[in-house]
């Protein structure tokens, strides 16, 4: 069974366009371009990944892990909407290689739960 077999949850990747709109309260809100994809999600039991932190020089701080397809352009300023949750992507996505084939098979993401879709509008 591969990680792709677990990527069954429809999610919306929201990438910032660089434009902003003004809300009724006067706040500037970013405008996002949306892309549909399938992903896998899991809440993180621990908040530190110490072995990875020493290998790549950082320790992830996300509350959740996410896995997405290798051909999806996840950016660290993007966010993901899944069901009633909105996540910020914490740090750069990590392309993960299939060690048997040498091909990038998927992206691993550190996610921070930031609210629900109604909170973000």
Closest CA to 94 of 80, 82, 104, 79: 104
| 98 band by pLDDT with thresholds 50, 70 and 90 | confident
> What CATH superfamily is the domain 3-120?
Bacteriophage SPP1 head-tail adaptor protein (2.40.10.270)
Question: Is pLDDT above 90 for 115?
Answer: no
Condensed to tens digits (0 to 9), the pLDDT of residues 50-97 reads 445 555 554 555 689 999 999 999 987 899 999 999 999 988 999 999
Domain ranges of the chain: 3-120
Beta bridge partners of 95: 107
Mean predicted lDDT score pLDDT of the chain:
85
Task: For residue 87, count CB atoms less than 10 angstroms from its CB and return exposed for 0-12, middle for 13-18, buried for 19 or more.
Answer: buried
Contact between 3 and 105 under an 8 Å Cβ cutoff? The reply is yes
Q: What is the pLDDT of residue 78?
A: 92
Chain segment 6-24, per-residue pLDDT in tens: 999 999 999 999 999 999 9
How do residues 21-58 score in pLDDT, each as one tens digit? 999 999 999 999 999 999 999 998 755 554 455 555 54
pTM exceeds 0.85 = no
Asked whether 47 and 10 are in contact (CB, 8 A), the reply is no
């Amino acid at each position: 069974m591969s990680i792709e077999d677990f990527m069954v949850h429809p999610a919306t990747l929201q990438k910032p366009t660089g434009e902003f709109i003004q809300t009724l309260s006067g706040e500037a809100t970013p405008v996002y371009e949306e892309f549909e994809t399938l992903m896998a999600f899991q809440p993180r039991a621990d908040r530190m990944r110490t072995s990875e932190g020493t290998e790549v020089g950082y320790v992830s701080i996300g509350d959740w892990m996410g896995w997405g397809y290798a051909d999806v352009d996840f950016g660290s300023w993007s966010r993901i909407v899944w069901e009633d949750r909105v996540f910020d992507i914490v740090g750069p996505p990590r392309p993960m290689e299939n060690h048997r084939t040498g091909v990038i098979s998927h992206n691993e993401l550190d996610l921070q739960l930031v609210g629900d879709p109604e909170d973000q509008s």
